[in-house]
Structure 1
Amino acid sequence: MTRHATQPIDGQKPGTSGLRKKTRMFMQPGYLENFVQSIFDGIGGAAGKTFVVGGDGRYFNAEAIQTILKMAAANGAARVIVGQDGLLSTPAASHLIRLNKTDGGIILSASHNPGGPDEDFGVKFNTPNGGPAPEGVTNAIFARTKEIDAYHKLDVADVDLGTLGETSVGDMAVTVVDPVADYEALMASIFDFGAIRAMIAGGFTISFDAMHAVTGPYATKIIEGTLGAPAGSVVNGTPSPDFGGGHPDPNPVWAKTLMDRMMGPNAPDFGAASDGDGDRNMIVGRGCYVSPSDSLAVLAANATHIPAYAKGLAGVARSMPTSAAADRVAEKLGIGIYETPTGWKFFGNLLDAGKVTICGEESAGTGSDHVREKDGLWAVLFWLNLLAARKASVAEVMQDHWATYGRNYYTRLDYEAVPTEAASALMDGVRDRLGALPGQSFAGLTVEKADEFSYHDPVDGSESHGQGLRIWYEGGARAVLRTSGTGTEGATIRCYLEAFDGEVLDDPTKLDAVRAATMELAGFQSHIGRTEPDVTT
């Protein structure tokens, strides 16, 4: 018997990155099954279809994949391609979906969130283009979760996912693949591996912190293996169910050991880190941290050094909270620049339509048209390739970039696990005053204009509203306020601050005024009882 009676479970609404909840919630009887069945039902069924399945190796990953395989077989799927031991980085999964022309894929990850029995888990569906499901699909999945009365699952033994090759579950074929091989081949088709190898052979040193997450095997194979970096260049390279007890978010706070090393007296030439599922990145030079917004702009400005982009870019896209540094590059290159809501799925239409080649978010995600996800290791290899081509250090590249384009000083302040009511009160308090803010002064800065960001998709005409509160101050500074959908409890308030200077390129106080003004304007102290963030990037 494959049919199991069930009933709807509240709260299974997918966000921008699928459904994320505490791991123990997913482990409850029927919880994962209800959501997976709703995915299959929401896309018109699984019969005769082929899917990619994999995850970042976090706690409950292996058990969840076995459940998904048995459910896919019971729902009539023809084939599932799964990474060995259940591992696939998110960009590698996107590539496999596209390479094999499958009907989509199910990716198990909570990205940069901690893992473990008392931490976070996530499930998301990616469509046949390799990208996260758009709102029309997630809405259909959510609608099904509210009316589901049964799920289908075979009662069979678990599949051996440790052995490469073909096996089966019922009548469904299961192909266990090397999670790195096809992805490495794709990277070799984009970058000049020979130039990077020569640079490393000449003494260039690297420290890549895989943060006990999924990119460990990828970085070890490519950076230490193919590119010839010495053993030990990749640290924390073995995936762990709880990410070594750490927080797999590549930023200066959670990758502090790497930051300390890169700012120390015997720093390597180049440092980098990636996150839980491999789609985010952090770039650090010797004594020089590169903000994600600046990294996007630098990649766009240097794209012609990369073989795959040697003919130039069609355009660049960035999320709205990301700094305008990339806009200045696009303007100089004479190519399109697109500002989208936060969430990688909004880049998908632009990439599919050929309007942009490179895109990125301030939250440490950059990517290109090679897949339909952000890609952490791709960004690291891009930086290595441009450094090899320019024969310059990270610090020299950044100084040259700012001298050419000016500097968009930028930071993001994260206030995590804020009680939902308090976060809503803060946001609503600003939202309700947007029309009255222009002309008012706060901590010495006067508001020039304010609005709530809405997006009109130039490809399919869809509209997305309520995408963040924007405040511009006289003199060119900007602040953005939004709540994040990547956490699993309470709310995360994100405050983004930006100020441009075309002449003064190293002023550590540049953002002090816009920060003070925004704290006062939004009432951080009165609403949530603090002005100091949990994380600053």
Structure 2
Amino acid sequence: MPGHIVQTAPIPGQKPGTSGLRKTTREFQAPHFLENYVQAIWNGIGGVAGKTLVLGGDGRYFNAEAAQVVLRMAAASGAARVIVGQGALLSTPAASHLIRKRGTDGGIILSASHNPGGPEGDFGVKYNGPNGGPATEEVTDRIFAATQAITDYAMLDAQDVDLSTLGETRLGQMVVEVVDPVADYAALMAEIFDFEAIRALLARGFRLHFDAMHAITGPYAKAILEDTLGAAPGSVVNGTPSPDFGGGHPDPNPIWAKELVDRMMGPDAPDFGAASDGDGDRNMIMGRGIYVTPSDSLAVLAANATRVPAYADGLAGVARSMPTSRALDRVAEALSIDCYETPTGWKFFGNLLDAGRATLCGEESAGTGSDHVREKDGLWAVLFWLNILADSRASVADLMADHWARFGRHYYSRHDYEAVDTAAAKGVMDALRARLADLPGTTAAGRQIAFADEFSYDDPVDGSHSAGQGLRVGFTDGARLVIRLSGTGTVGATLRVYLEAFVPGPEGLDRDPQEALAPMIAAAEALAEIATRTGRTAPDVIT
């Protein structure tokens, strides 16, 4: 099977973000676009000759075709073996686990995470390193540099590999090993959690409702929740992965998972509800009549970690992304453990996890995880909650009420302004950045400002410095405002405003979050002038 060299040239716009390169599907299908970026990955990591890689994706449109391109390019560049999920499918946490379990040299994950799929949707390619986590800043920079200097790529002349059948085949000199995408991950979950306790909970009539959102977690959830743990048939809905996610948006939040919200807020609601996203690394948690914010969920997991067998001896430390609410900080203080504040992007947690400084970590964007893999993990979070509920015998609502009574409540919300004109969004950031030094001691919408800065991060493990990670304004009453541009959109700019207000209790712990945050919403507009500068009078998505 001879290969050939294809002459090419750099293509603008191939700078990877916090989780690889995400663009529209049409862009990835354009001549040389996917091939250029894959070759840039090979060049950026020092080549793949003799290496073993993991490959899989979330099943979105173009997933199968892209997987075959990656295989032919890996074979042409001398890779020794590629371990592929059956049907070119792997959830992101399952891929991370497989990289770690098999000791590979890294892996390629084909996904745009929670972004919509289909011909008019989005696609993405991400390289994860040998630790199973997203590429480090240094590797990401090398990959981007390679996209700007590329002159050619190698491609094997071969037919598509049959990825439907388990076992080994050869593509040129390279071994292609097709594995069950669920089995290894399911075995890992059984090691972490008390499956017997969860089975007993479900046997007592506890009802759950898991919305896989037509995405990759469906087969994992059905195998574990229904087939292994005994949840009633039909507890997992929308469980068959679809190339366009059933025409929906696979982002587990109250806007896009409205079907779940309506069910959990209805008259015959189950005891527990959850959802996961396109590639299986995010989660949404609900109880009967209650929505749990991702920030609160992270804090509850940390506060109750010793109920889970894998964390029975306690936590080495915890970490959260900077925009995530400071609810986790209060739990860490009570447990006398370190709490690290990092930039947004799971790769920043990797060093802390590898060094044993943190055990649990999470982001406000519905991602939580631990040192079991080096990615956030949606189904793991669901099982964590079920283990806590089984051990405590409390409802979700009672568990949250007890948590807020003990630690106080951080009312929290994120307002997203999507597809904003890039220049206008940059203008919002630049104008507020120019005022930061003068803000402390002044007021905004009647609230006194205690500090204002642009967040930067010095990694305590490797000493690397990350600047420009978002604008923060803190108030004397413990409230906080964060504004940053997101790196996950593919059209225009996504401006994100994070609002946080703290109530120590015992009064005021059961208000509607948007009502409780109304003064902060007014302060955000007074400081950032989003309506004036962008023409947007309201956010597109509120979570």
TM bucket by the smaller chain?
A: over 0.9
- Say yes or no: does 1:527 pair with 2:527: no
Name the structure 2 match of 1:357.
359
- Say yes or no: does 1:506 pair with 2:535: no
Structure 1 residue 102, shift from structure 2 partner: 0.2
In 2: Cα distance, 1:400 partner to 1:440 partner: 36
User: 1:94 touches 1:371 (CA, 8 Å); kept in 2?
Assistant: yes
In 1: Cα distance, 2:28 partner to 2:535 partner: 33
In 2: Cα distance, 1:310 partner to 1:2 partner: 55
- Say yes or no: does 1:489 pair with 2:499: no
Secondary structure at the counterpart of residue 516 of structure 2: coil
Name the structure 1 match of 2:193.
191
Q: Which string of whole-angstrom CA distances, capped at 9 and with x for unpartnered residues, describes residues 290-312 of structure 1?
A: 00000000000000000000000
Structure 1 residue 442, shift from structure 2 partner: 2.2
Name the structure 2 match of 1:518.
524
Structure 1 residue 436, shift from structure 2 partner: 1.1
Name the structure 2 match of 1:16.
18
In 1: Cα distance, 2:537 partner to 2:196 partner: 49
In 1: Cα distance, 2:159 partner to 2:536 partner: 52
- Say yes or no: does 1:133 pair with 2:135: yes
Structure 1 residues 238-249: aligned runs within 5 Å? 238-249=240-251
User: 1:519 touches 1:531 (CA, 8 Å); kept in 2?
Assistant: no
Structure 1 residues 93-492: aligned runs within 5 Å? 93-492=95-494
Task: Give TM-score scaled by structure 2 length.
Answer: 0.98
In 1: Cα distance, 2:351 partner to 2:190 partner: 26
Structure 1 letter corresponding to 2:250: P
In 1: Cα distance, 2:327 partner to 2:475 partner: 18
Structure 2 letter corresponding to 1:505: L
Q: Which string of whole-angstrom CA distances, capped at 9 and with x for unpartnered residues, describes residues 491-514 of structure 1?
A: 101100111111121122321111
Q: Which string of whole-angstrom CA distances, capped at 9 and with x for unpartnered residues, describes residues 23-77 of structure 1?
A: 0111011111111011011111110000000000000000000000000000000
Structure 1 residue 439, shift from structure 2 partner: 2.5
Structure 1 residue 441, shift from structure 2 partner: 2.1
Structure 1 letter corresponding to 2:428: L
Secondary structure at the counterpart of residue 124 of structure 2: strand
Give the fraction of aligned pairs with identical amino acids, expressed as a percent. 71
Structure 2 letter corresponding to 1:424: K
In 2: Cα distance, 1:532 partner to 1:197 partner: 45
CA separation of 1:169 and 1:178: change in aligned 2, threshold 3 A: same
In 2: Cα distance, 1:218 partner to 1:311 partner: 28
Structure 1 residue 147, shift from structure 2 partner: 1.1
Q: Which string of whole-angstrom CA distances, capped at 9 and with x for unpartnered residues, describes residues 206-263 of structure 1?
A: 1000000000000010001000111110000000000000000000000001101100
In 2: Cα distance, 1:511 partner to 1:410 partner: 7
Range with greater deviation from structure 2 (202-211 or 438-447): 438-447
In 2: Cα distance, 1:16 partner to 1:525 partner: 28
In 1: Cα distance, 2:69 partner to 2:292 partner: 41
In 1: Cα distance, 2:252 partner to 2:54 partner: 26
Structure 1 residue 474, shift from structure 2 partner: 2.4
Structure 1 residue 440, shift from structure 2 partner: 2.3
Structure 2 letter corresponding to 1:469: L
In 2: Cα distance, 1:400 partner to 1:298 partner: 10
Secondary structure at the counterpart of residue 396 of structure 1: helix
Structure 2 letter corresponding to 1:520: A
Name the structure 2 match of 1:2.
4
Any unmatched runs of 5+ in structure 1? none
In 2: Cα distance, 1:127 partner to 1:528 partner: 39
In 1: Cα distance, 2:366 partner to 2:528 partner: 26
User: 1:58 touches 1:242 (CA, 8 Å); kept in 2?
Assistant: yes
Structure 1 residue 99, shift from structure 2 partner: 0.3
Secondary structure at the counterpart of residue 476 of structure 1: coil
Q: Which contiguous aligned blocks of 4+ residues in structure 1 show a shift greater than 4 angstroms?
A: none
